[in-house]
Structure 1
Amino acid sequence: MGKIKVTKVKSAINRTKNQKLVLESLGLKKIGQTVEHDDTPNILGMVNKVKHLVSVEETK
């Protein structure tokens, strides 16, 4: 199982409450902040919910 880097690239202003909660669950608070997570179905599902607000890249 690999790892992914998730970077917040857009603001959560005027987004639904669920999208804001997903960003918080991923550990993203500020624009430009990057976090690393395991490549699990749970994390990929959360990333898919906010794919228009984040950028994702795979790491080793």
Structure 2
Amino acid sequence: MADKLKVTLVKSPIGCVPKHRRTVEALGLKKVNKTVELPDNAAVRGMVNQVSYLVKVEEA
């Protein structure tokens, strides 16, 4: 497993469940097509799994 994950927001969270919208914001994603590098741990993987229909994940 890589020690970092590249997470990119590919779909707008407008109209999504409010909890999912807050999760996207907590991941540090504010605009579509923006990418953040996050540590690869259980907490981040759980957040990404919850909003998997909004984001694209790559191991960095």
Gap regions ≥5 residues in structure 2: none
Q: Distance in 1 between matches of 2:18 and 2:38?
A: 22
Structure 1 stretches (4+) deviating beyond 2 angstroms?
none
Q: Mind listing any 5+ residue stretches in structure 1 that lack a counterpart?
A: none
Kindly provide the amino acid, as one letter, of the partner of residue 24 in structure 1. E
Q: TM-score, normalised by structure 1?
A: 0.95
* TM-score (structure 2 length as normaliser): 0.95
RMSD: 0.8
Q: Who is 2:7 aligned against?
A: 6
| SS state at 1:36 partner | strand
Identity %: 47
Q: What count of residue pairs does the alignment treat as equivalent?
A: 59
- Secondary structure of the residue that 1:37 maps to in structure 2? strand
